[in-house]
Amino acid sequence: MPAITIEGPKATKEAKKEIIEKVSKDVAEAYGLPVQSIVITIHECEQDNVGVGGKQLSEIEH
């Protein structure tokens, strides 16, 4: 049973549903396993808790 953890910014319920469906399908196909055996966990990170190049992500203009 493959387990995948995705870390990223906050997402809507609809976006999380789409991410889970698409990643599960692709991983299941790659492993040749049923999609029901794939476990996905999404960790949402606040931009203040992520640093890039010595700065908080919230300080960097996007």
What are the chain's domains?
3-59 (3.30.429.10)
The model carries a pTM of 0.81
The 10s digit of each residue's pLDDT in 3-56 is 999 999 899 999 999 999 999 999 999 999 999 999 999 999 999 999 999 999
* Residue 16 to residues 20, 31, 39, Cα–Cα distance (Å): 6, 22, 13
The two tokens of residue 59 are: 């300080």
